[in-house]
Amino acid sequence: MLEKVTNHIYKKIVPLPHNPLREINVYMIIGHKNLLIDTGFHRPECAKALQEAFTELNIEDTDLLITHLHSDHCGLIGNFINAKTNIYASETDGELINFEAGNLYWKMLDDLFIKYGFPKADFGSNTDIHPGRKYCHDKRADFVYVKEGDVLEYGGYAWRVIETPGHTPGHICLYEPNEKILIGGDHILGTITPNICIEISSENPLQQYFESLSKIEKLDVALLLSAHGTPIENVYERIQQLYAHHNERLAEVLHILAGEWKTAYDVARDMTWEIECKCWEDFPKPQKWFATGEAISHLQYLYFSKKVFRKEENGIYYYKKIQ
Ligand SMILES: [Zn+2]
């Protein structure tokens, strides 16, 4: 179903099959030029949903903006690669998206996780571990790179690009200052906490995420259109909840590291998770992966804040609380 959000802005809920997120909200800004924001996975169900929206809106051409590199946001990029379409992204995530189209990216990400203690035995087959690998695009795009402060005019609005690294190193939002609308990608979600995970080009993503939350706090936002869940009315309250969540997590991780040296994987195993599994061993492989990524981002934040030691042994990082 296509939903009109406000003048010239529509939301289409695109299904994400076999994924705990279930669906993504893509937004379409309609005018003499159109702009689609994010695409869904590289799957026929997602392509069908987009086509239904185009038919309903009676449009044939649209430019495309990718908020960040995750495959539920850029999976169908290949369908938009043609001479007429501008495909916008930040340079950081744009380069990673093109890099993702080859196997080297996934190999580097695997090696990074191994460095943080993720056991090879838990990888399973290459596509088991990470939904991004299954439903990722397979073509390289010739992006129009956008950066902080750039303005994109669509639907009678002047959208300012806001760089919000954290959820990914090159995550971007669009902000319309006159109408106080923020199109927020996965930066701030209402019902779930955005996963803050290490990437091959970021060492301290949680620090970046905190800075990006504080950047949004300074804007006047009346309506936040996020990529998952319902629109958020009180952005500032939600930002405080997100700070509180991560500060609790940091305290929990410090507590876990009070005794012996542990890897990020060990810490993830010892953290509490809202998942219907009896024990860590029962976690599905992708959930172990995301949990470890989340543990890494908190550990790295504590390491750079000089709250924990980090040592490397046989190519693997271990952490311990500084007493
Ligand atoms: Zn994401």
**Ligand 1 centroid, distance to 305 Cα (angstroms):** 26
**Ligand 1 centroid, distance to 70 Cα (angstroms):** 5
**In terms of pTM, does the model score above 0.85?**
yes
pLDDT in tens, 78-90: 999 998 999 999 9
Q: How many CB atoms lie within 10 A of CB 139?
A: 12
Q: Which two tokens stand for residue 106?
A: 């996934």
Torsion of CA 169, 175, 180, 182, to 10 degrees: -50
**Ligand 1 centroid, distance to 14 Cα (angstroms):** 15
Mode of pairing for the β-strands spanning 144-145 and 87-89? parallel
**Ligand 1 centroid, distance to 24 Cα (angstroms):** 10
**Ligand 1 centroid, distance to 71 Cα (angstroms):** 8
Closest CA to 43 of 68, 16, 65, 80: 16
**Ligand 1 centroid, distance to 132 Cα (angstroms):** 10
pLDDT in tens, the chain (323 residues): 899 999 999 999 999 988 888 999 999 999 999 999 999 999 999 999 999 999 999 998 999 999 999 999 999 999 999 989 999 999 999 999 988 777 788 888 889 999 999 998 777 665 556 666 667 777 889 999 999 999 999 999 999 999 999 999 999 999 999 999 999 999 999 888 999 998 888 899 999 999 999 999 999 999 999 999 988 879 999 999 999 999 999 999 999 999 899 999 999 999 999 888 888 888 888 889 889 999 999 999 999 999 999 999 999 999 999 98
**What is the Cβ-side half-sphere exposure of residue 76, based on CA atoms within 13 angstroms?**
24
**Ligand 1 centroid, distance to 29 Cα (angstroms):** 21
Q: Which two tokens stand for residue 115?
A: 């460095």
What pLDDT score was predicted for residue 129? 61
**Ligand 1 centroid, distance to 122 Cα (angstroms):** 23
Instruction: For residue 302, count CB atoms less than 10 angstroms from its CB and return exposed for 0-12, middle for 13-18, buried for 19 or more.
Output: buried
**Ligand 1 centroid, distance to 252 Cα (angstroms):** 24
**Ligand 1 centroid, distance to 257 Cα (angstroms):** 28
Q: What is the C-alpha separation between 131 and 6, in angstroms, rounded?
A: 33
Place of tokens 């309250």: 237
**Ligand 1 centroid, distance to 261 Cα (angstroms):** 31
**Ligand 1 centroid, distance to 260 Cα (angstroms):** 33
Residue 276 contacts residue 322 (beta carbons within 8 Å): no
**Ligand 1 centroid, distance to 38 Cα (angstroms):** 11
**Ligand 1 centroid, distance to 9 Cα (angstroms):** 21
**Ligand 1 centroid, distance to 228 Cα (angstroms):** 9
Q: What is the C-alpha separation between 262 and 87, in angstroms, rounded?
A: 43
Total H helices, total E strands in the chain: 9, 14
- Ordered domains of the chain (ranges, CATH): 2-246 (3.60.15.10)
